[in-house]
Structure 1
Amino acid sequence: MFKPIRFIPDDTKIKFMFWSRYGYFASGLACLASLLLFVFVGLNYGVDFKGGTVFVIRTEQPANLDELRSKVNSLGFGDAELQDFGGSGHEVLIRLPTIEGGEDVQRTVQDKVKQVLGAGIEYLSIDVVGPKVSGEYAQQGIVAMLVAIIGILIYIWFRFEWQFAIATVMSLLHDIMLSIGFFVLIRLEFNLQIIAALLTIVGYSLNDTVVVFDRVREYLRKYKQMPLADLIDFSINSVLPRTLLTSVTTLLALFALYIFGGEVLKGFTLAMIWGVIIATYSSIFSAASLLAILGVNRDAIQIQPSGSKVEKKTAAARP
């Protein structure tokens, strides 16, 4: 019979609580840097949040961005932003700022852009978002994020204890702050796709954290006298293979999507790749170790009846 492949040993004894003190320092600096970047540099808001008109065109010959930019700017509609879109050199994204005046003016803008660019241009898509709609998008995105975090706080509070809920929310805020700092640093266009990516990251991070917390709660019932720091180390080590293998397989799928999914999905996929890495880090080094700072009321953890599966499982696993 073939033995299963073990990429990660089942009996690791890594001192996560010892290393977490350095993790807090690194995370604190990274969160501060993210906050400064957000305040002084700002996100690269897409048309979904600042409004405007976006053209995606395809040229017969390799596109000359400087020439196209000069033509569009000659119309006097503001500074146009142009970038290669498909990687082939023939597809270009053109972004124009919002022009006041309603639908008739927007239609005039589109007609004049088509006229100045001339023949031999295929228009793959034209999207128009007004300032009112973009403001509503921004408001709804913030509300969605806050509702998700509050819902998670209530869910964890009822399922575990308040210390677990606070640790989870702090870990999620850590993930969101580092993700936003990353978006500012690489100038990733912040649009509705990135909001969706952030909400997905929150869900992924929560899943990882709950797995660790379940194991902590199980061992709190089992090992009454074990110091909390040792118990947290034991809990994280016991779920480490599952956590890392889940993250690696998820990243493999995301990298494939980033490479072969096309330009439209690249922003979302890149945000997810970074989010999975940060969520894995925080679930191992931040969330559970925060319990040692907040303290856990062992008496509040319900004791399962004697002889249950939890009591019998891994009876000799105590380090």
Structure 2
Amino acid sequence: MSETNLAAPSHLKIIPFMKFRKLAMAFSLLLVLGSIVSLAVNGLQFGLDFTGGTQIQLQYPKPANLETVRSQLAKAGFDSAEVVYFGQETEVKVVMQEMEDSRGKAPGEPTLTDRVVSALSVDGDQVTLKSSAFVGPQVGEELRDLGGLGMVVALLVVMGYVAFRFQYKFSIGAVTALIHDVIIVLGVFSIFHLDFDLNELAAVLAVIGYSLNDTIVVADRIRENFRKIRQTSALEIVDISLTETLGRTIVTSLTTLLVLVALFFVGGEIIHGFSIALIVGIVIGTYSSIYVAANILLMLEISPQDLIEPVKEGADLDELP
């Protein structure tokens, strides 16, 4: 015979998370609407992987001044070139929309890469070419479309999994929280005009996985408590469940954030966008597991009847939860 707690655990100091659910809903709506408006007006500043263009990595004999490099490129006609350090101050990455076009080029005529190296090899600085890469616009457009499709498929798979593993109301809450997180992360990149490349897309997909994991932990505890605790309201059961999982949530989020903050400050320019996407995603994902996913459950009027386990044929009534 299984035991059932008819009341909330008396030893637990319950934090009234859901007391602030309406305020949290207004805050979430503000963030989501602001992100959508920025995405509609500004769009995303797609990087080389999505737009096509040329990426050139250069080695300087001494630390390079990025402003000087940009000025030299502008004088050579490359006004839109983006210049960043690549790991260390003696290595520079130049990204531009211009593409190498070999059609009609006479033998011995300098290539695009040659012209960039020549433009920067002045004032006694002998710049060395380390690598160059070209991405065609058709390839970039295909990567952008496949990336967007990947996010949609991930959300659909998540919705199906959670509906099968728990109940359809949990799947609606989980997917709403994930869409909330993705829109806000993309909104941050749009508002601050940050480059969005394949690295950042990978970070967004990682955010979906992290947020889903956090949401499932909370959902599992809510389901367990609905089956154990009977003499209390759904709102109190959600508060109890969130309080019980709070320690795990804080430890997981803080340890992950410590690593990402370290990557942001010492990982170099090349992974700044990746780090920013994950930092924003983890903070918002932790928040959404509490104030979006759980809030949706209350809005859908989750009840013990939704979570009753199917009775096996011939089971003794005393064994029912």
Task: Please give the alpha-carbon distance, in whole angstroms, between the structure 1 residues aligned to 2:39 and 2:298.
Answer: 31
How far the C-alpha of 1:96 sits from its partner, in A, is 1.3
Asked whether the 8 Å contact 1:80–1:94 carries over to 2, the reply is: yes
Q: Which moved more, 1:191-200 or 1:269-278?
A: 269-278
2:268 aligned with 1:268, yes or no? no
2-structure distance, mates of 1:65, 1:212: 47
Question: CA shift at 1:103, angstroms?
Answer: 8.3
Q: Which moved more, 1:13-22 or 1:258-267?
A: 258-267
Matched, 1:48 2:42: no
Task: Give yes or no for contact 2:195–2:273 (8 Å, CA) kept in 1.
Answer: yes
Preserved CA contact (<8 Å) 1:54 1:95:
yes
Structure 2 runs not aligned, ≥5 long = 1-10
| Contact 1:98-1:131 at 8 Å conserved across structures | no
- In structure 2, C-alpha distance between the alignment counterparts of 1:230 and 1:13, rounded to whole Å: 9
Q: Is the 8 A contact 2:84 2:269 kept in 1?
A: no
CA positional deviation for 1:200 = 0.5
When the two structures are aligned, how many residues end up with a matched partner?
300
Question: 8 Å contact 1:37–1:185 — kept in the other structure?
Answer: yes
Residue 193 of structure 1 aligns with an amino acid whose one-letter code is N
Q: Contact 1:33 / 1:181 at 8 angstroms: preserved in 2?
A: yes
Q: How does 1:46-195 map to 2 (within 5 A)?
A: 46-76=47-77, 79-86=80-87, 88=89, 90-99=90-99, 101=101, 108-118=111-121, 120-195=126-201
Work out whether residues 77 and 97 of structure 1, in 8 Å CA contact, stay in contact via their aligned partners in 2: no
Change (3 A) 1:144 1:102: farther
Task: Say if 1:44 and 1:184, in contact at 8 Å, map to a contact too.
Answer: yes
**Structure 1 position 110, deviation (Å):** 1.2
Give the secondary structure class of the aligned counterpart of 2:184: helix
Residue segments in structure 1 that go unaligned for 5+ positions in a row = 1-9, 312-319
What's the TM-score once normalised by structure 2's chain length? 0.85
Q: Is 1:78–1:97's contact at 8 Å kept on the other side of the alignment?
A: no
Equivalence for 1:26: 27
Provide the rounded CA distance (Å) in 2 between the counterparts of 1:253 and 1:175.
20
Distance 1:229 1:199 in 2: 31
Cα distance, 1:44 vs structure 2: 1.8
Query: How much has 1:290 moved relative to structure 2?
Result: 1.1
Larger Rg computed on CA atoms: 2
- Taking the aligned partners of 2:144 and 2:33, their CA distance within structure 1 comes to 23
What is the match of residue 36 of structure 2?
A: 35
Residue pair 2:207, 2:282 contacting (<8 A) in 1 also: yes
Does structure 2 conserve the Cα–Cα contact (< 8 Å) formed by 1:77 and 1:99?
no
CA distance in 1, matches of 2:175, 2:154: 10
Counterpart of 1:49 in structure 2: which amino acid? F
How far 1:220 moved relative to its partner? 1.1
What is the match of residue 296 of structure 2? 290
CA drift of 1:183 comes to 1.4
Which piece of structure 1 moves more, 107-116 or 296-305? 296-305
* More displaced 10-residue stretch of structure 1: 142-151 or 219-228: 219-228
Q: For residue 85 of structure 1, report the CA deviation from its aligned partner.
A: 4.2
Larger CA deviation: 40-49 vs 121-130: 121-130
| Distance (whole Å) between structure 1 residues aligned to residue 104 and residue 183 of structure 2 | 40
Residue 37 of structure 1 and its aligned partner are, at CA, apart by 1.2
Task: Give, in whole Å, the separation in 2 of the partners of 1:198 and 1:76.
Answer: 35
- Partner of 2:111: helix, strand, or coil? helix
Specify the alignment match of 2:4 in structure 1.
none
Q: Aligned-pair RMSD on alpha carbons?
A: 2.6
Asked which structure has the greater RCO (Cα within 8 Å, sep 6+), the reply is 2
Matches of 2:126 and 2:50 in 1, distance apart? 31
Which amino acid in the other structure matches residue 120 of structure 2? L
Q: d(CA) in 2 for partners of 1:76 and 1:35?
A: 36
TM-score (structure 1 length as normaliser): 0.85
